[in-house]
Structure 1
Amino acid sequence: MTVVSSFLVPGSPLPLVARHNPPWTELAQAFERAGEALAASKPDTIVVYSTQWIAVLDQLWQARPHLRDIHVDENWHEYGDLQFDITIDVEFAEAAIAATNDTGIKSKGVNYDKFPIDTGTIVASTMLNPANKLPLAITSNNVYHDWSMTESLGRIAADQAATLGRRIAVVGVGGLSGSYFRHDIDIAEDRIASESEDQWNRKILSLMEQGDLAALREQCPTYAAEARVDMGFKHFAFLLGAMGGTFSCAVVHGYGPLYGAGGAVVEFKR
């Protein structure tokens, strides 16, 4: 099996930098359970698609062998800096770049010092891959790519892993409902900002748990629009592509608010 594990995780740094806050503690613990499941699947490489790495012209792949620095999140800087130490599977990145170009999706690598690694990628790497034990393959969210194209990118990534003989864990980094509180709140009383968005989140998570692919494909466009889902839920599209468009069920390790928005840590079973 090429794709040995698959996960949907939020890109917010709050469960990482302020896990002591009760509403965010569950998500921090969920990340830990997902990290244990990822390690148990024994991948060679972790493939990461993050909604927070925004690209406009091309599909970008990180191609610098080693990334190490300190990042300051643009929204939650008061909670402290984010240190990161990431090793890149350059051979995989080069193969993915060539393959995406061959399919007509313009793609290129990024390889220069001090490249601004996004918060979501750093959170996923830190929480799921402690001590940088496994190399990553990181690709961007091109804002002009729709659901179908993003799903095809996931499929291409899995195909290249198979060609290289890599066992991969696939991680889609992004949120659920997207209504943030725009005023100061007591973070200990954080909640999903909208009751209807909470209901939508729970409905979609339930369909994932049931493995109801037909209903998910039917409901996701409406869900993305009505719940203001992070980047149209394209991180889930990438996961679907990598999983060959199917999974049997899912385990929701945690679901909760992230300053009003929704976030979940989900593990998909093949």
Structure 2
Amino acid sequence: MERPSWAPPDVDIEQPSISRIWDWFLDGSHNFAVDRKVARQMLRLMPEGPRMAQASRAFLRRAVRMCAAAGVTQFLDIGSGIPTVGNVHEIARLADPRARVVYVDTDPVAVSHTRQLLAGDPTTTVLRADLREPEEILDSPELNGTLDLDRPVAVMLIMILHFVPDEDDPARVLARFRDALPAGSMLAIAHGSPTTENMPDEHLHGAREMYERSVAQVRLRTRPEVEALFDGWQLLDPGVVWIPDWRPDPNDAGPRFDIPNAGYAGVAVKL
């Protein structure tokens, strides 16, 4: 395959990526043939995949607006993916022009294109780092040059925690972020679920196994398990619910969001 001009030189264009598969689901253009191949294989078993991606992005927008309405003007979006319309900084600045944002991702394509998008913007930056190494994020000059950790920060973890297996102790990771942030900080989580209502179990298992062989291990969690990830935070109404059911916005209504197996979501505050 010919390397696209926009692909960073250190990217393996024959290795599929979580961020680029998601980009394809969201009708983006920064993905490779190998990403599209895996995505199409997934769609045979899970045809609602793009609608799930759209629903999670819609939740992100609603959560950002809610955090901004609560007076939080600083955002840390971990697992931010490839830039698409409706990024955190765009939504937050509609509510408060002073909003400051740090994006974090492990995918070099996602980081490269976010840097291009943010070029010349002193209040928004991007960092290539792994959620499982919270100190790398919290101690980075990118974060500390953009956010003030003495003031509340909203941490956005949208469809990323199911790539953190139990052996990597996601509770420990989240506790480190919680302990580093002041009262009034907020946490938004959207998480894949092992429970479906409209998909045969064998299709779910097949899609999961295919994804794990091609891209990354997946740890889907039940609603109680997702609720446990908010330990030490105060969950806000309506608690942890199906993603489309979290404070639905009429502007998000329509057939593409009518998906009962989109995963779970919730937002909480540190008291």
| TM-score, scaled relative to structure 2 | 0.36
Bigger strand share: 1
* Alignment TM-score, normalising by the size of structure 1: 0.36
